[in-house]
Amino acid sequence: MCPLTMRDFLAALEKKGLLRRIARPVDRTWEPAALAKWMYQALPEEKRFGMYFEKVKGSAIPLVTAALGANSAAYAAALGIEPESINDALVRACRNPIAPKVIDTAPCQEVVFTGKEVRLSRLPIPVWTPGKDKGPYITSNTVTRDCDTGIQNMGVYRTMVRDERSLTSNLAPGRQGYMNTLTWTDKGKAAPIAWAIAAPPAVHLAAVANLPYGADELGIAGGMMGTAVRVVKCRTVDLLVPADAEIIIEGEVHPGDTEMEGPFGEFAGYMGPVERRPVVRVTAITQRKNPIYYGYTSQMPPSESTVIQSLTHAGILLKTLRYDLGETAVSDIFVDLTFGGMLSHTIVAMKPGYPGHAKKVGRLVAEMSLVKRVTVVDEDVDIRDHTHVDWAMNCRYNPSRDTVLIDDAYFPVNVDPSVRSANSQDTMGSKIVCDATLKVGAGEFSLPPREIMMKALDLWKEIGLPEFDIPRRAKLRIDHS
């Protein structure tokens, strides 16, 4: 069952041993973020866990991070499924979105602060790169709405706390939150904006999906949950927000009201540039009676941000290729969890149907995403095992024949130093597609046939040699031997 609230999800995660409570009081200006950095920098993926800081100095509200994106097991638990089913679940949700359901009385509005009662310092908002970030940052779901169509959007845009009642949000040009804001401010009107903090887990995972302009992530979240996301009208702005969220911050962006934002530690591993961004005047904070605060750990990869963005991005790409572009030869996609999701190395498994097919699919992936490196392999390669992908690169990829270079690619997120220019603001770069599928018959694998390997497995057990789970790489090879 997909957990319908953040609380249910955290309870399920704790039962699986994937959440740790930290009872000692912590200083939000450095301790939670620095501990999370150690977890991502030192622990292998399978040993990571969500962090629940029960006591944050100066705030009555606990802080949770890394729970949704500790690893793929945590992400899967947020959808109530097994890690192997993540792509299928995302494809199904995109093909069967469920529109949100509006309700009148919501848990996220049990307590309402407006006007001078609003104090952002009551929330345990951490400093994520202690010693380097300009201040505390909100890293959660941002809700905006197009003034003309009325369609809402959700994304995560880093947002700096300026003072008790104002924020500066990285609503960067080209991103949908920015486009929605312009539809109001260009007409001289204040744009409504809100943050949904510790919303139902599926809402968080859907928010980072790069969907076509006009598609509402709340519908995809409903598709993931198998039931409509309950939404409620904000108290001070005209937006619908997830009713079961723990905390909502409501505000407005006024025409021409901007300020320098940053520096902030970015997901590509370097400090992000300081740029002029819209200021948000906070009009209300609404919350449950005893709320939980959630903030994503990002910055140096791997991080929670890379895990979430990689997994969501892979599912959306797979759906687009198979069902929007008719590339049914594509069976699976993996976006490397060690980097920034939308920029990361992407590996496609497919059964090419004609010469050049794998290159075509690789080019499509590169063109319709921000991904810089795409590798295409046959279906007998485990795309989640980098040693297996490397094997395919070594024996099925001939660089001068199997490489496509795409020039003049624009990278709208200015966090990748490789595409920065010394003397201009442009972030023009290039992309590479490597076709590591077999082009000619290669003969049989140099492994004994399946029957012999399986008989040897019985012998292994009989002798009492150490037990193991058969890796997918080995299974695929043996099945093809």
Ligand X SMILES: Cc1cc2nc3c(=O)[nH]c(=O)nc-3n(C[C@H](O)[C@H](O)[C@H](O)COP(=O)(O)O)c2cc1C
Footprint on this chain of ligand X (rule: CB under 6 A): 139, 153, 155-158, 170, 172, 175-177, 208-210, 296, 298, 305, 308-309, 342, 413
Residue 356: CB minimum distance to ligand X, A:
31
Q: Of 171 and 349, which has the nearer Cβ to ligand X?
A: 171
Name residue 102's beta-bridge partners.
231
Instruction: Give least dist CB 261 to ligand X, A.
Output: 9
Tokens of 457: 């497995």
Question: Which lies closer to ligand X via its Cβ, residue 177 or residue 429?
Answer: 177
Pick between residue 184 and residue 397 the one whose CB is nearest to ligand X: 184
CB closer to ligand X out of 374 and 377: 374
Q: Say how far apart CA 44 and CA 72 lie, in whole Å.
A: 12
Q: Cβ of residue 266: shortest distance to ligand X, in angstroms?
A: 8
- DSSP-based three-state secondary structure for 42: helix
Of 201, 172, 214, 233, the C-alpha closest to 74 is: 201
Q: Is 429 helix (H, G, I), strand (E, B) or coil?
A: strand
Q: How far is the CB of 274 from ligand X (least distance, A)?
A: 13
Q: Are the beta carbons of 160 and 137 closer than 8 angstroms?
A: yes
Could you give the CA distance from residue 30 to residue 64 in angstroms, rounded to a whole number? Answer: 14
**Closest separation in Å from C-beta 379 to ligand X:** 29
Kindly state the smallest distance separating residue 126's Cβ from ligand X, in Å.
Answer: 12
Rank residues 185 and 305 by Cβ distance to ligand X and give the closer one: 305
Per-position b or e across 217-243, b if 16+ CB within 10 A of its CB = bbbbbbbbbbebbbbbebbbbebbbbb
Smallest distance from ligand X to CB 96, Å: 20
Compute the least distance from the CB of residue 112 to ligand X, in Å: 27
Rounded CA gap, 170 and 351, in Å? 41
Q: Which is nearer to ligand X, 179 or 474 (CB)?
A: 179
For the CB of residue 416, give the shortest distance to ligand X in the complex, in Å.
13
Please give the radius of gyration of the chain, using alpha carbons only, rounded to the nearest integer.
23
Q: Are 52 and 67 in contact (CB under 8 A)?
A: yes
Q: Is the peptide bond before 278 cis (omega within 30 degrees of 0)?
A: no
How far from each other are the two terminal CA atoms of the chain, in whole angstroms?
38
Measured from the CB atom, the residue of 146 and 378 that comes closer to ligand X is 146
- The closest residue (CB) to ligand X is 155
**66 vs 348 by CB, closer to ligand X:** 66
Distance of CA 97 to the CA centre of its chain: 19
- Preceding peptide of 302 cis, ω within 30°: yes
Written in H, E and C, the secondary structure of 279-329 is EEEEEEEEECCCCCEECCCCCCCCCHHHHHHHHHHHHHHHHHHHHHCCCCC
Q: Which is nearer to ligand X, 208 or 419 (CB)?
A: 208
